[in-house]
Amino acid sequence: MFGPFDIALIAGLVLMAGFGWSLGAIHALGSALALVAAVAAAAATPLPVLAAFAAFAVVILAGALAARRARTRKPSSSSRLVGAAVAIVPAAAIAVALAGALNVRLDDNSVVRTAWSYPGIQLIGERMMARGDLALAIAFPEPIADEPEDEAGDQTAPARPVDWARVAPFDRGISRILTGSVVAADRAPLSFEVTGTLSSVNVEIGDRFSTDDVLAELEPTALRIALDERRAALIEAEARATEARLMLERQQELSASRVISEAALESAVAVSESAQSRLAMAEAGVRQAEDRLDDAVLRAPYEGIVAARLVEPAQTLQAGAPAFEIQNANAGFQIEITVPDALIAQIVPGSDHGAVILDGTATAVTARVHEIGSRANATTGFPVTLDILNADHGVRAGMTAEVHLDLRSDPRTAGASDVLGIPYTAILPGDGDRHVAFVFQSDTQTLEKRRVTVAGREGTTALISEGLEDGDIVATRGLPFLHDGQRVALRGVGIVRYDD
């Protein structure tokens, strides 16, 4: 087959013949001798042969141009003819060596071996290879014969086996597996409401407790002293209030007898009211001191489990500093996962999904979507929480779970009722949503190149809205090497070919 290699060869021969015609016989002969030296150097050194010929080409062109400028008279016609003939020799030698080098270095050397000129090059190359010095650098395998044209009626062309798939309506049930963590549905940190030093810690991590169980206690001495001070202040306030009340009663009796002035009575009333206010403040102080003393004992708000213990005895704690993390034993468990941006629109709130707890026994559970985050994380996606509906006693917070999400189809293709699905490898990209697929014609055993419209993509499935019909068979691999009308055989159907 006359191809690119032949075009390059003819162009090289014409170019070298032109240089030989311009330089004459003497300089052309010198170029041929330089070629012999270059080939000898390439065979004697570990440098690649192709690099040696490239260097030779540069040297011969530079030398030829320099020599041409130095000449004072033009060569004769006979010298030009001899020079052109001699210059073709190194060009042909370069072509032979280049073909041999390409056969070694190219993964696909069919462009050389199918060339119209390659049989002659191979014959010359085998003579050059007789010495064996260049066996690792160049090679001359047998030419590749042209394949006969694939035509519907041509029974001599071998049918090419192709991988295939049958076109079918797209099943909108899509599944994705995402990994997440098991957490307690009801969990909270516990802390003391007062500052103090821990005197005792009564639970460990993993311990179960009941409502109002004492989990830890602070040293109560300072709080008891504060309570005693408030109680003493209360006793004093009660005495002052009693004294002011009695004084007011006497002043009222004297005022009724008009023994004292109205101003004296008003003063007694004010003193009594002030004493009553101080009494109320003292009573509130006692209640506050009693509450603070009660707060020195940390009690369980509900039945649960200790998830984390963050304190040790004799440790000084500030008010509000977490002492424990607890989980409600009766609230169940949840799975927290992060869903990529491209899938979040396909999750249905309240939908049920399968999940596997990776606890060594692969416990299967059912999880229901509880909430979907409205804001994505910085890099990973949207947070989604699922309730475990049938958790057994073996499920614990912190375990890893795999959630098998059953997603609804992409909303962009939800309105298409006649969408067909084929492997994404069965289409060649085109302009916009117009692509190309190769459809197998069973009556002629050939391929038909057909334009198709891609409505979307679901994983490895291309959604086709136009161009194909249910039941069509399409090629799924090697599409760049297929063409319209090519005879093919469906791989795995009919007589098996063991030489594919």
Kindly report the CATH number assigned to the domain that includes residue 277: 1.10.287
Whether the predicted pLDDT of 279 surpasses 90: yes
Whether the predicted pLDDT of 363 surpasses 70: yes
What is the token pair recorded at 358? 């990776």
Residue 331 pLDDT class (50, 70, 90 cuts): confident
Whether residue 68 sits in one domain with residue 23: yes
Residue 152: the pLDDT is 43
Query: Average pLDDT, stretch 387-394?
Result: 83
The answer to whether 116 touches 55, Cβ cutoff 8 Å, is: no
Sheet with strand 214-218: strands edge to edge? 297-299, 214-218, 196-201, 316-317
Residue 408 pLDDT class (50, 70, 90 cuts): low
Nearest to 495, CA basis, from 158, 165, 166, 167: 158
Segments of 185-292 assigned E as strands: 187-191, 196-201, 208-209, 214-218
Percent of residues, the chain, with pLDDT higher than 70: 65
Q: Between the CA of residue 138 and those of 32, 35, 91, 121, 125, what are the distances in Å?
A: 21, 17, 17, 12, 9
Q: Between the CA of residue 154 and those of 114, 159, 228, 286, what are the distances in Å?
A: 22, 10, 113, 109
Q: Alpha-carbon distance 419 to 457, whole Å?
A: 11
Whether residue 438 sits in one domain with residue 361: no
Whether residue 118 sits in one domain with residue 32: yes
Whether the predicted pLDDT of 499 surpasses 90: no
Structure-model confidence comparison of residues 272 and 40, the more confident one: 272
Whether residue 49 sits in one domain with residue 123: yes
Q: Examine residue 462 and state whether it is found in any structural domain, yes or no.
A: yes
Residue 411: the pLDDT is 47
Q: Which of 110-114, 168-172, 173-177 has the lowest mean pLDDT?
A: 110-114
Whether the predicted pLDDT of 283 surpasses 90: yes
**123-171, pLDDT tens digit by residue?**
776 666 655 555 445 666 666 655 544 444 444 557 889 999 999 887 6
Residue 33: the pLDDT is 57
Whether residue 335 sits in one domain with residue 281: no
Residue 242 belongs to domain spanning: 220-295
Whether residue 375 sits in one domain with residue 276: no
Q: Is the dihedral of CA 348, 349, 350, 354 positive or negative?
A: positive
Whether residue 81 sits in one domain with residue 27: yes
Q: Between the CA of residue 318 and those of 163, 187, 296, 314, what are the distances in Å?
A: 71, 22, 12, 13
Whether residue 391 sits in one domain with residue 420: no
Residue 91: the pLDDT is 67
Contacts of 418 (CB under 8 A, 6+ apart): 169, 465
Query: Average pLDDT, stretch 65-69?
Result: 57
Number of compact structural domains in the chain: 4
Q: For all residues of the chain together, what is the average pLDDT?
A: 78
Q: Between the CA of residue 290 and those of 199, 287, 293, 298, what are the distances in Å?
A: 18, 5, 5, 15
CATH number at residue 478: 2.40.420.20
Whether residue 434 sits in one domain with residue 378: no
Residue 498: the pLDDT is 47
Query: Average pLDDT, stretch 10-29?
Result: 62
- Domain final residue, candidates 236, 271, 295: 295
pTM (predicted TM-score): 0.43
Residue 310: the pLDDT is 92
Cβ of 109: how many Cβ atoms within 10 Å? 17
Structure-model confidence comparison of residues 262 and 68, the more confident one: 262
Q: How far apart are the first and last CA of the chain?
A: 24
**417-464, pLDDT tens digit by residue?**
568 889 989 998 876 667 899 999 999 999 999 999 888 777 788 888
Whether residue 348 sits in one domain with residue 255: no
Whether the predicted pLDDT of 221 surpasses 70: yes
Q: How many CA atoms lie within 13 A of 172 on its CB side?
A: 13
**225-248, pLDDT tens digit by residue?**
999 999 999 999 999 999 999 998
Residue 380: the pLDDT is 76
Whether residue 23 sits in one domain with residue 110: yes
- Domain final residue, candidates 379, 412, 445: 412
**185-219, pLDDT tens digit by residue?**
888 899 999 999 999 999 999 898 999 999 999 99
CATH number at residue 390: 2.40.30.170
Cβ of 409: how many Cβ atoms within 10 Å? 18
Cβ of 463: how many Cβ atoms within 10 Å? 22
Q: Alpha-carbon distance 231 to 282, whole Å?
A: 8
- Domain final residue, candidates 412, 447, 469: 412
Q: Examine residue 304 and state whether it is found in any structural domain, yes or no.
A: no
Q: Alpha-carbon distance 418 to 167, whole Å?
A: 12
Query: Average pLDDT, stretch 283-289?
Result: 93
Q: Examine residue 18 and state whether it is found in any structural domain, yes or no.
A: yes
243-251 long-range contacts, CB within 8 A, separation 24+:
243/275, 244/268, 244/271, 244/272, 244/274, 244/275, 244/276, 245/272, 245/275, 247/271, 247/272, 248/272
